[in-house]
Amino acid sequence: MSFEPKILGIACNWCTYTGADLAGTTRLQYPQNLRVVRVMCSSRINPSFIFRAFQLGADGVLVGGCHPGDCHYNTGNLYARRRLAVTKKILEFSGMEPGRFRVEWISASEGNKFAEVVTEFTKQIKNLGPQTQFKISQ
Amino acid sequence: MAISFKQIEDKLKTEAKGLLETGKVSLVLAYGKGYDEKHPMPYVARRPSDADNIVFNEFCTHNMARYMVRYPAGTKMAVAVKAADSRAVIQLIQEEKVKREDLVLLGIPAYGMKNPKTGETIDSKTTCGLYNPVLYDVLLGEEVHGQPVVSPYDVLAQYEAMDKEARFAFWKKELDKCIRCYACRKACPMCYCDPCFIDQNKPKWGEKSPESAGNLMYHLTRFHHLAGRCIDCGECSRACPVNIPLYLFHKKVAKDCEDMFGQAAGMSVEDKPVLVNFRVDDSDKILE
Ligand code: SF4
Ligand code: SF4
Ligand code: FES
């Protein structure tokens, strides 16, 4: 059986989540490996969510927020950009493959971009294979 | 020129006595006798006569900025600060944990401090490698000059060069040793959260017993919480009973923050901590 990765998506309510909805209503096709959790803003994302997701078996984590300058709360994603950049560096120095974590800015009108990013990221994670380093073995 | 620790000790005593006598401060955070020479302890002088108990020698490595946050806001206090310790004070001022006007900083230019456990001289390999306090009111001795300037990040090269699998194996081996005594966070001037995330039950962020998964969660998150705040005093690693080189990870995160945001922790009271700040033109490249 081919490897079907589990990918956690964390999307902000105002842009990326709405963009995902748009991708759905316009019936765009994208892989079903993504499980999306909606948060009010990308700055709501505690970096520990990402570490924990990998421990609980995620093969990849995709964070989506509004484009810088477009955050519903004005500056949320500007803080998030710095914070998540640090998260990425920490994952990398711990020995985790950095390609398993990605941040993308996807607006409410970019249903296309949402579908493209998910397709491409899923392909990338498939190539990387199962994530075993952080995963807690049951 | 060798620093005379005895001279520093005498000056510390005199300053502490004077400050307590005049009532300028209600306590002085310094060092006192431990069970032997090699193990001096943090000491809080409250009465002028307490000043006689103050000691200073090459093993006084503790970062006394750690203790400032224990006292109610507005407490006037004097703190003995070596180079990195003064950076911790600056960082805590930036974080509005203490106010500059409540503090009298007794700066100690210290060269040749020693790790009591290993006897090694402490330098840029395990700390920020500065010898002179960045901020002080009184300097207890002459500034140290003429020592080679070595980047505190040089020691990282060999770890950065490792391939991912080897680095993961390295950290797994190190972090698996952790017995979760939490001496690292107790020693750290920046670990003042109550409760610490790892002690919370709702949500439970990670396993609390000493095993791989919980250790990884505790340490990665702690490294993250110290991003842009760790001033590289090295106390966490010296406090660790199983000798985990935590300083390597902290140094790496500090280096990345400096590269990405152009600011080192605890260097100026005017700065804002990098992760509670942003620039509109921060590049998306940092996310790649
Ligand atoms: S993390 Fe370690 S080196 Fe950094 S400030 Fe805390 S005790 Fe010092
Ligand atoms: S001091 Fe060392 S053993 Fe204790 S909790 Fe910290 S890393 Fe673990
Ligand atoms: S609301 Fe979308 S990133 Fe802040």
Q: What pLDDT, in 10s, does the model give residues B48-92?
A: 999 999 999 999 999 999 999 999 999 999 999 999 999 999 999
Mean pLDDT of chain A: 97
Mean pLDDT on B21-48: 97
Q: Is any atom of ligand 2 closer than 6 Å to the C-beta of B241?
A: yes
B165 C-beta neighbours (distance < 10 Å), count: 11
Mean pLDDT on B186-198: 97
Instruction: Calculate ∠ Cα A92-A55-B278, nearest 5°.
Output: 50
Ligand index nearest the alpha carbon of residue B196: 2
Task: Indicate the SS3 state at residue B43.
Answer: strand
Mean pLDDT on B161-188: 98
- Token digits of residue A5: 């990765």
**B208 pLDDT above the threshold of 90:** yes
Question: Which residues does residue A35 pair with via DSSP β-bridges, in sequence order?
Answer: A8
Please tell me the predicted confidence (pLDDT) of residue B52: 97
Please tell me the predicted confidence (pLDDT) of residue A137: 83
Mean pLDDT on B106-115: 94
Mean pLDDT on A17-31: 96
Q: Could you give the CA distance from residue A121 to residue A31 in angstroms, rounded to a whole number? A: 10
Which positions in chain A touch B206 (Cβ < 8 Å)?
48, 52, 55
Which positions in chain A touch B205 (Cβ < 8 Å)?
48, 52
A104 C-beta neighbours (distance < 10 Å), count: 23
**B210 pLDDT above the threshold of 90:** yes
Ligand index nearest the alpha carbon of residue B128: 1
Domain ranges of chain A: 7-128
**B228 pLDDT above the threshold of 70:** yes
Percent of chain B with pLDDT over 90: 95
Whole-structure pTM value: 0.96
Q: Which residue do the tokens 């921060």 mark?
A: B282
Please tell me the predicted confidence (pLDDT) of residue B2: 57
Among B124, B225, B250, B257, which is best to mutate for testing ligand 1, by the most ligand atoms less than 8 A from CB? B250
Beta strands in B128-247 (DSSP E): 138-139
Decide: residue B146, CB within 10 A, 0-12 exposed, 13-18 middle, 19+ buried: exposed
Please tell me the predicted confidence (pLDDT) of residue B148: 81
Q: How far apart are the first and last CA of chain B?
A: 47
Mean pLDDT on A16-30: 96
Question: Which residues does residue B106 pair with via DSSP β-bridges, in sequence order?
Answer: B80, B138
**Does any CB of chain B come closer than 8 Å to the CB of residue A54?**
no
**B1 pLDDT above the threshold of 70:** no
Mean pLDDT on A115-120: 98
Mean pLDDT of chain B: 96
Q: What pLDDT, in 10s, does the model give residues A29-82?
A: 999 999 999 999 999 999 999 999 999 999 999 999 999 999 999 999 999 999
Percent of chain A with pLDDT over 90: 97
ipTM given for this complex: 0.96
**B149 pLDDT above the threshold of 90:** no
Q: Could you give the CA distance from residue B275 to residue B278 in angstroms, rounded to a whole number? A: 7
Please tell me the predicted confidence (pLDDT) of residue A2: 87
CATH superfamily placement of domain A7-128? Lumazine/riboflavin synthase (3.40.50.960)
Q: Is any atom of ligand 2 closer than 6 Å to the C-beta of B252?
A: no
Which positions in chain A touch B217 (Cβ < 8 Å)?
48, 51-52, 55
Percent of chain A with pLDDT over 70: 99
| CA proximity to B67, closest of B19, B29, B94 | B29
